[in-house]
Chains A and B, each alone.
Chain A
């Protein structure tokens, strides 16, 4: 999730040669300032979110505004991490607009992002206090100790106490100085590195999207891209229907018309030629009928113009098995959803005609809030199995393409009930 601009050197030697060490030091010291500025702002904004929430008219817009404010501040903190550590943390996404101010405010209060950012500043407060000890310990203390031998050479009677040890001679001072120098060379960079790592970890864990957040975002993207694919396929069906209608079909009708005229002009002369023309004429008519059936299966124009009820009543009329149709869809869903519901019914009726040996089919299409429910029941011989029939599988696939569900209940001898439920919000 975190992509550093350049890898952090692992060895003390490498750290000494990289600007990372100094930038990290500055960053750690900066934490204290941040806690006193941004931290207090976030604390205040969070308080506003909480306090504003119950205050109805004024509070509700305020909660939302304060919530956004927290995200803004966290943005600065991410920017600081990028500048000093080259740490790239993807931004948290504030809760989306829910529509009403009250819902927005409720989202602002329940927003996990707000609370993670709040916790970040609380933890950073203690971390910043720790850095106020760690950073001087890493840099100033060894530097001071290195100066001890010089101190002794100027003040012979001087003495210093380091914990339980009393340093009262140049020799001892030199030993301490060497140890301090070694500490400075090898340990201090590692201390800064560790502190900086912890600091970066806080930013990553609390100011970046959580793992579930990343997954949720990914799922959201996938759902959207799938929706685009499904929509584009449906648009393609409509386009093909129109192309066939405006192109090939018109030409064939025109051709058939010319042949019809030729036939009429010829009258009773040349019976052999007339027979040929008649043959060509009926072939052309056949071709027109075939294209018509093909395009109607793709996407019938009446579906776009008049919706499911009109399109399905035409389908019901063509069914060889008597169909009882009820369509109760007060608000039209998207063209894609309509097209899929239409497909479910036509496929189901085609199956009934082919295999079910039914005497009666009942087709029910109802919209209940955001779900379009398509039911096709027949009183045939049952035994339909989606695992075997490619038609049923194709249906299930197309329904699944829009997050719908297809259930088939088909006990042998007991008729078949096919139910498709498609979300159409």
Chain B
């Protein structure tokens, strides 16, 4: 897996580089601001880039804006945004209409090596990795329209885990149920959200989108 890292704190940047190298990833570039990130992505076309939200020169949402540009111009490059805070607004902008190849995690998750690498691999593979905190914020947003009122609490749990980007096995593990039970819940969700089988695997994404209310 080829990775570009954009993080202005040298301490953290070096830490992430070493962490990734230990996990047999190739860090092709490690940069400190948004413009350098865009240049590096254009040059190296990595599988995924890890982007800090706040970077020089403005120290506001520099990284997020660079991430949006990458999403737009290099759709094949996965973007995993790391932030000190996860805010629903940033997440909505980042996901746009398409939760594929994107991740938005609290920086803390970097410390949880397995969780971080797992998320990074999902994003690199065109999947999603959203922080549980973002999910709960997005959930509140969509609660108003509430297209999900038809789902049982357990089905909502399953959908939430799906939105985080987990596989069926991952969901089963997280909810401490069998994989068969998860599959049953998921087919119920598709049914209740009126997603026909002709949509194929894409139904998962559609369900998540419905869930996120974006």
Contact = CB atoms under 8 A, between A and B. Distances in A.
Interface of A: 242, 245-246, 249-251, 253-254, 256-261, 263-265, 281, 284-285, 288-289, 292, 295-296, 300-302, 304-306, 309-311, 313-314, 316-318, 322-324
A157 to B, nearest CB: 105
A284 B108 CA distance: 9
Interface string B112-153: 111000000000000000000000111111011000000000
Contacts of B136: 317
Contact of B137 (A242, A284, A313): A313
A303 B44 CA distance: 34
A253 B107 contact: yes
B111 A260 contact: yes
B22 interface: yes
A261 B113 contact: yes
A304 B61 CA distance: 10
Contacts, number: 103
A250 B84 CA distance: 9
B15 interface: yes
Q: Is the interface of B mostly helix, strand, loop or mixed?
A: helix
A415 B140 CA distance: 23
B121 to A, nearest CB: 15
Interface of B: 9, 11-12, 15-16, 18-19, 22, 54, 59-61, 84-85, 87-90, 107-108, 110-114, 136-141, 143-144
The residue in B19, B90, B107, B138 that gathers the most chain A C-beta atoms within 10 A of its C-beta is B107
Given A257-B110, A261-B22, A305-B60, A313 B89 contact: yes
A245 B54 contact: yes
A355 to B, nearest CB: 22
A245 B18 contact: no
Contacts of A246: 9
Contacts of B89: 302, 306, 309-310, 313-314
Contact of A310 (B11, B15, B87): B87
Given A260-B111, A317-B136, A317-B138, 14 more contacts: A250-B12, A253-B12, A257-B111, A257-B113, A260-B113, A261-B22, A261-B113, A263-B113, A264-B114, A302-B90, A306-B61, A310-B87, A310-B88, A316-B140
